[in-house]
Amino acid sequence: MDLDFSSDEQAFRDEVRHFLASELPDAIRDRMYRGDHSHVRNDIQQWQKILHAKGWGAPAWPTAFGGTGWSKTQQYIFENECSLADAPAQLAFGIKMVAPVIMRFGTPEQQQRFLPRILAADDWWCQGYSEPGSGSDLASLKMKAERDGDEYVLNGQKVWNTLGQYADWIFCLVRTDATGKPQKGISFLLIDMKTPGITVRPTRLLDGTFEVNEIWFDNVRVPVADRIGEENQGWTYAKFLLGHERTNIAGIGASKRELQRLKQRAASQPKGDASMLQDPVFATRIAQVEMELRALEITNMRVIFAEARQQAPGPEASMLKIRGTEILQCISELQVDLLGADALVQGGDGGEAARSTSAYLNLRKLSIFGGSNEIQRNIIAHMILGL
């Protein structure tokens, strides 16, 4: 398999790099570099509006819905270059998760109502999947949605909801039938976060940030018209969404960016008459993770080529999720090891040490969210080995 980009693809990469250099606001770039998320909603929305004005707001969407019409390789190049340039990641919950579900399973009215607002960053979306006791075993969720005429009445709780404190809308899996097989009684609802009865409580994480939330639903009324697809068929739509989420979690661009910074810092940090980059033990650790990242990139490209042939990702999505998250965690561990004693005090020197330490603490979540890595290994064993 030829992994070199064609001349057209190289020209496209140059175009993306030029655009990022000229159009990404310096203030946003600086905050992303420093790991400063104090303006996260404004930064992500402002960047999305800039991309939308360029016609690049939805790299993977079909042109019929306002997408770019880019090939899978172009999408890959774009995401990699954005990561390397310290651009904010597009809000995945809208662009990459609920939007494909609406396109595939939503009604024309739902598509016309929601998709343009996602594209223009007019609506901020979040995800309501996990519950207390229902995380990786998502089919065991219990949040009730009882039919009352043209509405559902919701009662229950969602946890580990990312950035829901900023959200205008949430897509939720809810229990509409408690009899029979658990997967057969789940429905997929789109819910306005301003609806009475919704309470959001942010959760403080290891790094001191409030990235995730608990959300309570107390007799929340949701129109039946805001259900995706058929009642009790939400598990089908959830699996479709999770396949996209786990492929995106590979995070090749982010790992490349962080590996580059690790090597730069190691080269400038002295150890005796040399640098840490020349220390045999530390250099070997860097080389190992660099080889693993390259192998992951090759696997990711294989999945991209398969998707281009209309082959939906299967166990490969789980493989990408496992290795992508483990590699980024490994790089963050090396960054903290390089800090030495400075890493013992969260915040460190207020600069690179603060960024690296906070990232290390925050990235412990990677092997859990999106379906824990243990669950992904079960999926691989079942789909490949038949266990």
- Rounded to 5 degrees, φ, ψ at 126 are -135, 175
User: CB burial class (10 A; 0-12, 13-18, 19+) of residue 99?
Assistant: buried
Q: Which amino acid is at 150?
A: D
d(CA 105, CA 307): 19
Element (H, E) at 379: helix 373-380
Q: How far is C-alpha 339 from the geometric centre of its chain's CA atoms? A: 28
Largest CA distance in the chain: 77
Dihedral sign for Cα 349, 351, 356, 357, please.
positive
Burial of 88 (0-12, 13-18, 19+ CB in 10 A): buried
Q: Which residues pair with 270 in a beta bridge?
A: 275
Q: Residue 93 is encoded by which pair of tokens?
A: 């919950």
- Is the CB of residue 267 less than 8 Å from the CB of residue 261? no
SS3 87: coil
- For residue 211, indicate whether it is catalytic: no
C-alpha–C-alpha distance, residues 1 and 335, integer Å? 33
Using CA atoms, how far apart are residues 213 and 209, in angstroms rounded to an integer? 11
Residue 109 DSSP symbol: H
Secondary-structure breakdown of the chain: helix, strand, coil percentages, each rounded to the nearest 5: 55, 15, 25
- Cβ neighbours of residue 248 closer than 8 Å, sequence gap 6 or more: 92, 96
Q: What angle do CA 353, 291, 365 make, to 5 degrees?
A: 50
Taking a C-beta distance cutoff of 8 angstroms, is the pair 320, 245 a contact? Answer: no
Cβ contact 88:44 at 8 Å = yes
Q: Which whole-number Å values give the CA distances from 202 to 42, 144, 165, in the listed order?
A: 18, 22, 7
Of 79, 245, 258, 352, the active-site residue reads 245
Residues annotated as part of the active site: 245
